[in-house]
Amino acid sequence: MSGFSLLGILGPRVSPQELAARGSRYAAPTIVLALARVLLLVSIFFPYWSMELDAPQYPNGLYVTAYVNHLDGDVVEVDGLNHYIGMKPLEEAAKFERASAIWMIVAMFLLMEGAASVHSRWALLLVIPALLFPAGFIVDLQYWLHSHGQNLDPAAPLSAAVKPFTPPALGIGEIGQFRTIAVLEPGWWMACAASVLTLVGLVLHRRAYKPLHDAAISRGRAVGVVPA
């Protein structure tokens, strides 16, 4: 029974004759999913997001760049300015996310690799994290910006001059004398491209393996046994 259930999860196998006749149909989802997971893995080495802070004290602006696992740029200087309005240091945001990001991306890579071997609808479950990852990054980023901006220290030197605010994760924001410009960087666009390719891979996956699944069900009905 357990083997029967496992077969239902893995889906129908492709016969050598079918593979010889329609090899490109079955190779397409594998290739597309492979490109998607490579893009996702490579995105680790590129920045995902950056923010420019325009302040009177810094005519050339200050820049903070976010990778999936660390922050770079003028973090100390920005924290120094934020201190006066009572905002927590940037490094205190998303500690868990940054500490686990590499492992999460590696896990998604492995799940996507497994999806190429699963010839059933269960493949969708394996790639859902990769599909949602780019949107999840922005949602999580906005959450932490909101949390930091809405929880200002009332004992800060300029606390009376600045009310709680929510810096935008994307676009232009203005806080007192400061202006922020936030944009998405190449790493995020790579992850987004990986998500789109994963979606394309799922369409090709269905096109390749659903006919085999339907044929297996038809054969099962013909002999009085319907596959799980």
196 domain residue, yes or no: yes
- Angstrom distance (rounded) from CA 32 to CA 116: 10
184 domain residue, yes or no: yes
Element housing 14 (H / E): none
Full residue range of the structural domain in which residue 168 is found:
2-222
- Angstrom distance (rounded) from CA 209 to CA 217: 13
Average pLDDT of the residues of the chain = 87
Using alpha carbons only, how large is the chain's radius of gyration in Å? 24
Cβ contacts of 67 within 8 Å, gap of 6 or more: 44, 46, 47, 48, 187
16 domain residue, yes or no: yes
228 domain residue, yes or no: no
Classified as helix, coil or strand, 219 is helix
Q: What is the pLDDT of residues 167-184, one digit of tens each?
A: 999 999 988 788 999 999
pLDDT truncated to tens, each residue of the chain (228 aa)?
444 455 566 656 666 676 666 768 788 999 999 999 999 999 999 999 999 999 888 889 999 999 999 999 999 999 998 898 899 999 999 999 999 999 999 999 999 998 888 877 888 999 999 999 999 999 999 999 999 999 999 898 887 888 888 999 999 998 878 899 999 999 999 999 999 999 999 999 888 887 777 666 666 544 444 444
DSSP secondary structure code for residue 46 in this structure:
S
- Angstrom distance (rounded) from CA 105 to CA 98: 11
What total of structural domains would you count in the chain? Answer: 1
Classified as helix, coil or strand, 56 is coil
Residue 112's nearest CA partner among 179, 195, 183 is: 195
155 domain residue, yes or no: yes
Q: What is the pLDDT of residues 73-93, one digit of tens each?
A: 999 999 998 898 899 999 999
227 domain residue, yes or no: no
Task: Give the Cβ contact number of residue 109 at 10 Å.
Answer: 18
Amino acid at 123: A
- 201 Cα distance to chain centroid: 17
144 domain residue, yes or no: yes
103 domain residue, yes or no: yes
Residue 216's nearest CA partner among 123, 129, 120, 126 is: 120
